[in-house]
Chain A
Amino acid sequence: MLNFILHRAGQTLIVLFGVTLIIFFMLRVMPGDPVALMFAEGDDEDIGAARAEFERALGLDRPLYVQYFVFLGDILRLNFGNSIVRGGEPVLDMVARALPLTIELSIYALLIALVIAVPVAILSALKQNTVWDRGGTAFALIGVSLPSFWQGIMLVMFFAVWIPIFPVSGVLDTRLSITRVTGAPFTDAVLTGNWEAAWSVLRHMTLPALTLGTGICGQFVRVLRSSLLEVKHQDFIDAFRARGLSERAVVRHMLHNAMPTTAVIIGLRIGALLSGTIVIETVFAYPGMGYLLIQAINARDFPVVQGVVVLLTAMVIAANLMADIIHGMLDPRVKLSGGRGNK
């Protein structure tokens, strides 16, 4: 177990290092820089001096590699710096506002995906090679291959233009407000017993969550279906029947056996889910991490972009780690150990 933790910690450091390197230099290579955006081109010479002053204050005049090591050092001390653009607000404050929204949205999307995927996968695996199976597989394929931004835009059109049941932007009706407890709007609304606001948040989250959820749902159907099919033909399934178990109980045990694999895949898909939020939050103007990231990129707000990306990466790694631990808990044959070749 200790071996496992050390191994994973090492991996995590390497990944984080790589990500900081990539994001840092990508930002500098990108055309346009924050200062240029602030000081419009073609102004008089005075601004030239002010501009140099500003660059020096931000450390942007130093050689790139120096800037990088300063950035790395800050991150290691968990200092993510301040926004260049928004009156110097600390990046961590901005993240603290956006992150709970993204987490709630992701959980909602995950739930939607599971609620759809589990019955579809069961039906399609049990009735293999029937109309049910074909339908389920086709559904999964569509879910996997439809680009989510397109799906999002379709949903916006449908629910904004034709039948406006669900709101298509924001998190909350403007006339309502929520007392802040954790920062996560739905949770806070429920905690403070503000049911009207909770309902409003839920409705605001529905379209983005649906878009995200159906995107990953296709994956889940595929994984769950194939692991159910694998289990279905094992001897012990017939052994259950030979002991007089009902079909219902047999299916329950099949699911139990298919769970570990599915849990790992869900963990791996958390990354896709979070990167999906980047697009979807922008489409639905939902002020989470993705929205924050896109805005920061547009403003070339380097510290915010860097901070958000590093934190998102850390979250994905944490999710994968959790999936492995859950896998180990669900499947007694799995021993958590470092490196490969663990049986």
Chain B
Amino acid sequence: MTMPDTSLSDTTATSRTDRSATPLLRVRDLSVRFGAVTAVSSVSFDVGKGEVFGVVGESGAGKSATARAIIGLLPPTARLGGSVLYKGEELVGASKARLRKVRGPEIGYVFQDALTALDPVRTIGAQLAEVLAVHRRMPARQALEVAADLLSELKINDPKRTLNAYPHQLSGGMRQRAVIAAALIADPEIIIADEVTSALDVTVQRKVLDLLLGVCSARGAGVIMITHDLGVVAQTCDRVAVLYGGIVAEEADVIGLFDAPRHPYTGALLRSMPRMGESGAFVPIPGSAIQVFGTLNTCPFADRCERAQPRCREALPAETRTPGGSYRCINPLEGMA
């Protein structure tokens, strides 16, 4: 199995074995380019029904670009390649009208910064009801009742008051819950949560995450949990993809990833993260994150990797299958980090 490079057309993940018959979402060889900048080179993963799938990586790894590509929410300058299958339906290149129908009732998107993700001049209620008006043609009064129910499910004490409030009148945690409600209100089957808690106070983060996951699991919705925080992954996810330089460096189930990382970047990430019980000794990754231009034909981590070999720079390492996932490295770690 060789995959010399990821030029936009000629790679297909033919060798991949299906884990489940038809996953809810199947991303294959997704690529996103902004002119010369390649935000995503080649990203593939599956998300099953009710699964919490983590996407972790440093700033600039291509997490948001991947997430936005899934629902076709990229600026017109972006060039999109590969395939996104939602319930077997191709979303890459789908019509605008079709994408609009997917956004909301099929795939919900929770934005990172709750203050800027809400319209400052309209009430929370108006913004939530609008989603139901668009997708269900639901009259405002009824929509507000649905919204109030959802808000109390998200443990907001006085939903009526919150619905009448403007975003600036709410606390950060409340606002983030309103943003979550806006993504959930049309009952999507997959929620993409892009760094939903990074703008929040640490004390509130955990609570908001629990609420989000609680509501999603109550509805059996799959979750794509995007974060730069491995702690969040450990606490919430079933499976995880580690992104680096626009590729999936490693994909595994969470326990496998933490116990036996194969990709040196994963290992370095784990070492850079203070672990419970162990005192103080975390090692930052030397160097800074890579910005990819044009076609990626090297291991993107080579400049920072302590296991790098000359061969690593000759081509993008092919995807190696493992029992629980895959990694892209020609000199992988064995056993414990």
Contacts and interface: CB of A to CB of B under 8 A. Distances in A.
Contact of B130 (A234, A245, A260, A333): A245
A241 B121 contact: no
Contacts of A246: 100, 134
A51 B183 CA distance: 84
A244 B117 contact: no
A238 B183 contact: no
A249 interface: yes
B134 A249 contact: yes
22 contacts: A235-B111, A235-B112, A235-B117, A236-B116, A236-B120, A238-B73, A239-B111, A240-B119, A241-B103, A243-B103, A243-B104, A243-B109, A243-B131, A243-B183, A243-B186, A256-B121, A256-B122, A257-B120, A257-B121, A332-B121, A332-B166, A333-B166
A325 interface: no
B73 A236 contact: no
B116 A241 contact: no
Interface of A: 234-236, 238-246, 249, 253, 256-257, 260, 330-333
B79 interface: no
Nearest to B194: A242
Contact of A239 (B118, B122, B186): B118
A236 B119 CA distance: 6
B113 interface: yes
B118 A242 contact: no
Nearest to B115: A235
B182 interface: yes
Given A234-B116, A235-B116, A332-B166, A242 B103 contact: yes
B105 interface: yes
A333 B120 contact: yes
A91 to B, nearest CB: 44
Contact of A242 (B111, B120, B135): B111
Contacts of A256: 119, 121-122
Interface in B286-317: none
Nearest to A239: B117
Contacts of B219: none
Contacts of B121: 256-257, 260, 330-333
A244 B182 contact: no
B101 interface: yes
B135 A244 contact: yes
B223 interface: no
A241 B131 CA distance: 10
Contacts of B116: 234-236
A51 B118 CA distance: 73
B333 to A, nearest CB: 37
A198 B134 CA distance: 44
A221 to B, nearest CB: 22
Contacts of B183: 242-243
Contacts of B270: none
B275 interface: no
A249 B130 CA distance: 10
Contacts of B166: 332-333
A167 to B, nearest CB: 43
B182 A332 contact: no
Contacts of B111: 235, 238-239, 242
